[in-house]
Amino acid sequence: MNILIGLLIIAVGSMGQSSSYVPIKKVKNWSWESFWLVQGIFAWLVFPFIGALLAIPEGSSIASVLTNGGSEAWKSIGYGTLWGIGGLTFGLSMRYLGVALGQSLALGTCSAFGTLIPAILKGKDLFEGDGLILLIGVAIAIAGIAVIGYAGALKSANMSEEEKRKAVADFALKKGLIIALLAGVMSACFALGLDAGAAVKDSLIAQGVNPLFAGLPVVLLVTIGGFITNASYCLFQNAKNKTFDDYGKTSLLVNNVLFCALAGLLWYSQFFGLELGKSFLTESPVLLAFSWSILMSLNVLFSNIWGIILKEWKGAGSKTMIVLILGLLILILSIVFPQLTTMEWWNVAK
């Protein structure tokens, strides 16, 4: 039962993340860099800070918790700055490919590398036992990404320029594919940041903090690093494009800030849900190890549901939709495969 509860919590958080780009469509007359910076303040600072407060021991402070992490805390922030590049390009992938295709490619790549890289760094042998299962799962994921990319190519070929612009205003397939793949690789650094901060989490649990919330300060460490990267780029773009006056449009300020805050809250919900959900998966080491991939695969699924709702694939043709669905199924198989191989799902069913 605990495992099912954990998976449900992760799924709810994933649904929130996949919905986070919908409120941004309600932001009016702001440049990309302006709304990305404002939603980032909420997504990477405000809400992670509030979440981290749930794990502060009595008589302590959030500053002491973060600084007591020592080198592990700085490693988490460092990985966060690298993840920030992924977060930045992730937003650009939505801009050029739309919610469905952009998230599918970026999150699929992130799922593969976010699972494989930590295993390599920990010295796991990828050619036998659990390591081989992991490697095969990643190979299947890459195949799914390739099929989804092919669906994007078919969409581009079958739609007129007017249809492309109507579905995604700045649609650009080649540029979008490169950016989405880069976003996925760099976004995997979030998983590395969480691993690097494991000592911080363990220390909090030893101090009596509820394991349900103990990982939330580590999430804040990673997002602080990500905010530094994104804020630097957005402010540079504000200066370059002379868009600082966006923030002075008082008639739009309340509307835009509210929708950016909603987007930030929904985005943060994925990692809030991941950390809470993982605390219910401790009795299943395999599911715990693959929790990152579970989150990413669910993000892909829900993002494509939103893509269909937002009519981003309208006019793409039946063949394209069949290829897209096939790619999604292959991607989901890459996540389910290791679990089926270890029989964890059968044990849950029993």
Cα distance from N-terminal residue to C-terminal residue, the chain: 11
Segment 271-276 shows an average pLDDT of: 94
Task: Look at residue 288 and tell me if it is in a domain.
Answer: yes
Between 206 and 335, residue with greater pLDDT: 206
Task: Look at residue 1 and tell me if it is in a domain.
Answer: no
Amino acid identity, residue 219?
Answer: V
Residue 59 burial (C-beta neighbours within 10 Å; 0-12, 13-18, 19+): exposed
The per-residue pLDDT for range 108-129, each reduced to its tens digit, is: 778 778 877 877 877 777 787 7
The confidence band for 160, taking pLDDT boundaries of 50, 70 and 90, is: low
Q: What percent of the chain has pLDDT over 90?
A: 30
pLDDT at 265 over 90: yes
Q: Would you state the pLDDT for residue 344? A: 47
What total of structural domains would you count in the chain? 1
Task: Look at residue 178 and tell me if it is in a domain.
Answer: yes
pTM: 0.80
Give the domain range for residue 53. 30-344
Highest mean pLDDT among 34-43, 111-120, 190-199, 338-347: 34-43
Highest mean pLDDT among 37-41, 194-198, 322-326: 37-41
Cβ–Cβ under 8 Å, residues 216 and 275: yes
Cβ–Cβ under 8 Å, residues 184 and 110: yes
Q: Would you state the pLDDT for residue 89? A: 83
Task: Look at residue 142 and tell me if it is in a domain.
Answer: yes
Task: Look at residue 71 and tell me if it is in a domain.
Answer: yes
Between 262 and 110, residue with greater pLDDT: 262
- Residues 62 and 55: their CA atoms lie apart, in Å, by 9
What's the gap between Cα 216 and its chain centre? 16
Segment 87-100 shows an average pLDDT of: 74
Structure tokens at 292: 């990152």
The confidence band for 346, taking pLDDT boundaries of 50, 70 and 90, is: very low
pLDDT at 338 over 70: no
The per-residue pLDDT for range 25-60, each reduced to its tens digit, is: 889 999 989 999 999 999 999 999 999 999 988 878
Between 52 and 155, residue with greater pLDDT: 52
The confidence band for 100, taking pLDDT boundaries of 50, 70 and 90, is: low
The per-residue pLDDT for range 58-74, each reduced to its tens digit, is: 878 888 877 776 778 88
Task: Look at residue 118 and tell me if it is in a domain.
Answer: yes
Between 286 and 80, residue with greater pLDDT: 80
Structure tokens at 265: 């809250």
The confidence band for 349, taking pLDDT boundaries of 50, 70 and 90, is: very low
Q: Would you state the pLDDT for residue 165? A: 58
- Residues 338 and 335: their CA atoms lie apart, in Å, by 7
Between 195 and 346, residue with greater pLDDT: 195
Structure tokens at 198: 């494991």
Q: Would you state the pLDDT for residue 217? A: 94
Q: Would you state the pLDDT for residue 221? A: 94
Q: Would you state the pLDDT for residue 276? A: 94
pLDDT at 293 over 90: no
Average pLDDT, rounded, for the chain: 83
- Cβ neighbour number for residue 41 with a 10 Å cutoff: 17
Inter-CA distances, 304 with 103, 112, 265, 307, Å: 8, 18, 20, 5
The confidence band for 350, taking pLDDT boundaries of 50, 70 and 90, is: very low
Q: Would you state the pLDDT for residue 83? A: 92
What's the gap between Cα 10 and its chain centre? 12
The confidence band for 163, taking pLDDT boundaries of 50, 70 and 90, is: low
